[in-house]
Structure 1
């Protein structure tokens, strides 16, 4: 029985999958190989890159014109700048791949014998030269995880390939494809002598840079429908827009949500149990809370300054004007290559799940330090007493904001993140928070869903609340409220909320004293009763 794959390359006999050769421009790759080009194929982690590379290898080998080989050289990362160890690991990976995929023990032994010769800076070039001379069919080599290598090991790899380039195809591979998360131009290589060399200068023979994208909308739905067709398990069509908004086709997310819904949800293992929208939403929350390796690795990229600068402004929902001056285009492209953002039509977090994960990860240590019990902010009917909750936050913000926000790397978005940490700690006991933010929006929207009945959960009555967050950086408070109130009402109508509040953070260069910064008001706009709050 096939299942959704949430770990490693997909296997047609085991997994639901989209034909990998449909997802890439095979015609362009064939043309580049025919032209004897060396090029880059890159994609964010867990987008199906290895699956596609293996499919390409089998595709070229089936033609009979080439000897194509996939080699994963990630093991050389541990060697860091120890070139001898690093090149030995790469050569052993070549030998293993020749044995497994070519079933060619002669080629594998040729590689192993090179390790007994002096000259570690020539081992890779020597192996590839021998292989190219050994068989009349030109070699097409796919080197995966190249950007995992570090320092002088990476420099040695790139330079040995460049040294053999002129010998192709008779005495070196006709085409070499460097594969990884990043384009070679984004490699920042620190040598043992503290020099910094860019990948572009070390590998200036690159002809093209191809990127493997996400699933299309049609492919996203088609993958789940494979499960429905094979098992007969009904999937509520109301899930489809949610699945797309949550993932925007990110392959690992699409598969991981499928696995959560159809296997980790134990009652759903009975294929007569339909996958409903509420079961799907519960699975989404479990996935986010699980802090899996994929999501954890994604959040780790936020520690890189060039990524942090971009994400900080997106989280703060700053004005998108002047983007080119604030963000070097290479940094924007790098963050997009990592799969964190979409750059067009404007910079935004890549999908709804990442929009949830990023603020949760950034405020995790803050969340666990906030001690609040649910009882004090619940009414006797078990509804959220939002005015009571926001009043408590105002006092918390007054007492702790300066000290706590000093600990945030993303200080520009500090007020929004601190409120989200406060709320996340509160609603973790059964509620959900949705988030909307992005450059140019000039606001952050939070959407709280709270089930009234503990027994029925989200299948019963649900309290829906909208919180609109605005930064007051210049001009008058009246102008901020005049802009924010229609935005709050518009978002509340969009969400079908029954309660809406606008929270204004005074972030002017010289904010008002705390006694004037903390205020509460009631207002009416377009028939809606609004709570207005200052902090």
Structure 2
């Protein structure tokens, strides 16, 4: 079978275009931690290649012959929650069954049915590992995956049994243990059935180090796609790679998902004699965003968490961090999830996430906005009549702002989100919107791309319009002057032929008659709007 871009589960080198997994970690550091009998962590966001890397580690360690390494996924114990008996039994069974399948050794399964069944849940895992390690002809290296999927008392029991047996290593307990998950252990907040909350660090204070995996770098993104070209002869247009980097920042699932969209989901491009163009790429990007694939859906689900909202809301609103400080623990949590990066400044991790987040937050709104039809806002030549559209938005905002904004979980960015929902409602099916927002920008920049030929879509002529959104703070004239400069600079960078600056006044003491105004564009100036 021909190789393909994988978006589900661990990579298989014989099936998938794959970068060498162990190149993504410092093998010298890993070897040192293992050789020195350390217990340590590996954490990274979902679908970044953790499991693929763990499996490669096991393969290499076993091939070297000094250790007996085993990978075990213990996610099935999640459903036990605070039931320690069920949870620890599930973990023990996962270890025993993996040993039986990988090594053809049924000793652990037999022990669980006999002697192990008499152990209490709070000692069963430790006793199983004692039994296994004392009978192994090589020191055991145990890699446990999805550890942070465990909940409450089950997780505490796992960590404490590992801590209790730690002093018995390597002759009667694993020589080295790696715990793998999304978050760093120090960020675990474990809610026990007693109501007590303990931290992962206090339950597992034998941890030597926390390692993390980064995304692909720009060169690696290109190398992965080049594997497809080398295998099939099908080239990618050079302009794709800069956009791929901006859209994904090397996030492995996104890079692979876009590769899959281009080389398989775009049926015409299954003809490997066809060059994959930038227009193909842009269409694939939009399909991926609209697909609400599992990876993106998980991202959207996290937005409902309060500690995530405390980080994302100021970014959407563009406020200064001094005005609305972002709690450090919440920021680290969102970094561990892969939602944001902190350097050089706090921002959404990549351009696709930056697009997905407002869409998800406004999904219900944009699908329930009534009495707005795309055809109302088109000139006879199919160009968007943006002035008519924004006048309609002013009317809509006056009639609905308070009720709609109150429905948003992210009320700080309510006006900007409502505007984006309204635009998305009209633009869907004929155009696309790109968004720029970040902490401290004090503005949201929207670029509308509208295809002028339905038959050709974005392969034909495209109308580009920039809309800059600002909240009124301080002197209006000063805000307009600064906003005009920013809008024109942004429009110039996007190659937009038309630009609009829209300013929201949220002062309840100001009447709607004063809030709503419009100044048509003068030569080389944007249209100005009050809302």
Asked if TM exceeds 0.5, the reply is yes
Shift of 1:103: 3.3
1:456-535 to 2 correspondences below 5 Å? 456-473=456-473, 475-508=474-507, 510-524=508-522, 528-535=524-531
**Which string of whole-angstrom CA distances, capped at 9 and with x for unpartnered residues, describes residues 145-183 of structure 1?**
000001111111111111101111111111111100001
Aligned to 1:423: 423
**Cα pair distance change 1:512/1:179, threshold 3 Å:** same
Shift of 1:219: 0.6
Aligned to 1:407: 407
Alpha-carbon distance in 1 for matches of 2:51, 2:478: 53
Q: Quick check: 1:94–1:108 contact (8 Å CA) kept in 2?
A: no
**Which string of whole-angstrom CA distances, capped at 9 and with x for unpartnered residues, describes residues 217-271 of structure 1?**
1111110110011011121111001111110000000000000100011111111
Worse-matched range after superposition: 116-125 or 74-83: 116-125
Runs of 4+ in 1 over 3 A off after TM superposition: 107-115, 320-323
Aligned to 1:454: 454
Alpha-carbon distance in 1 for matches of 2:104, 2:233: 40
Shift of 1:195: 1.1
Query: Aligned to 2:98, what secondary structure does the other structure show?
Result: helix
**Which string of whole-angstrom CA distances, capped at 9 and with x for unpartnered residues, describes residues 356-399 of structure 1?**
11100000110111122111110111110000000000111111
Aligned to 1:342: 341
**Cα pair distance change 1:422/1:113, threshold 3 Å:** farther
Q: Quick check: 1:444–1:470 contact (8 Å CA) kept in 2?
A: yes
Alpha-carbon distance in 1 for matches of 2:183, 2:378: 48
Query: Aligned to 1:455, what secondary structure does the other structure show?
Result: coil
Shift of 1:511: 4.9
1:50-65 to 2 correspondences below 5 Å? 50-65=51-66
Alpha-carbon distance in 2 for matches of 1:477, 1:322: 20
Shift of 1:110: 3.2
Query: Aligned to 1:406, what secondary structure does the other structure show?
Result: helix
Query: Aligned to 1:529, what secondary structure does the other structure show?
Result: coil
1:41-120 to 2 correspondences below 5 Å? 41-113=42-114, 115-120=116-121
Aligned to 2:123: 122
Q: Quick check: 2:46–2:337 contact (8 Å CA) kept in 1?
A: yes
Aligned to 1:444: 444
Aligned to 1:355: 354
1:196-235 to 2 correspondences below 5 Å? 196-235=197-236
Gapped runs of 5+ residues in structure 1?
none
Q: Quick check: 2:116–2:127 contact (8 Å CA) kept in 1?
A: no
Shift of 1:114: 5.2
Q: Quick check: 1:144–1:178 contact (8 Å CA) kept in 2?
A: yes
Shift of 1:106: 2.5
Shift of 1:335: 0.6
Q: Quick check: 1:133–1:171 contact (8 Å CA) kept in 2?
A: yes
Q: Quick check: 1:114–1:123 contact (8 Å CA) kept in 2?
A: no
Query: Aligned to 1:528, what secondary structure does the other structure show?
Result: coil
Aligned to 1:435: 435
Shift of 1:322: 6.4
1:376-387 to 2 correspondences below 5 Å? 376-387=376-387
Aligned to 2:244: 243
Shift of 1:204: 1.0
Aligned to 1:37: 38
Alpha-carbon distance in 2 for matches of 1:460, 1:523: 27
Whether 1:142 aligns to 2:130 is no
Alpha-carbon distance in 1 for matches of 2:388, 2:40: 60
Alpha-carbon distance in 1 for matches of 2:435, 2:309: 19
Shift of 1:121: 1.1
Gapped runs of 5+ residues in structure 2?
none
Alpha-carbon distance in 2 for matches of 1:115, 1:405: 58
Return the TM-score normalized by structure 2.
0.98
Shift of 1:36: 1.0
Alpha-carbon distance in 2 for matches of 1:499, 1:84: 65
Whether 1:366 aligns to 2:365 is yes
Q: Quick check: 1:114–1:126 contact (8 Å CA) kept in 2?
A: no
Alpha-carbon distance in 2 for matches of 1:74, 1:452: 50
What do you get for the CA RMSD once the two structures are aligned? Answer: 1.3
Shift of 1:187: 1.1
1:158-169 to 2 correspondences below 5 Å? 158-169=159-170
Alpha-carbon distance in 1 for matches of 2:467, 2:349: 22
Shift of 1:115: 4.7
Shift of 1:109: 3.3
Query: Aligned to 2:465, what secondary structure does the other structure show?
Result: strand
Query: Aligned to 2:407, what secondary structure does the other structure show?
Result: coil
Q: Quick check: 1:519–1:533 contact (8 Å CA) kept in 2?
A: yes
Q: Quick check: 2:133–2:173 contact (8 Å CA) kept in 1?
A: yes
Shift of 1:138: 1.2
**Cα pair distance change 1:430/1:164, threshold 3 Å:** same
Q: Quick check: 2:467–2:500 contact (8 Å CA) kept in 1?
A: yes
Q: Quick check: 1:88–1:115 contact (8 Å CA) kept in 2?
A: no
- How many residues are aligned here? 529
Alpha-carbon distance in 2 for matches of 1:9, 1:299: 23
Q: Quick check: 1:41–1:179 contact (8 Å CA) kept in 2?
A: yes
Shift of 1:400: 0.7
Q: Quick check: 1:114–1:127 contact (8 Å CA) kept in 2?
A: no
Q: Quick check: 1:94–1:111 contact (8 Å CA) kept in 2?
A: no
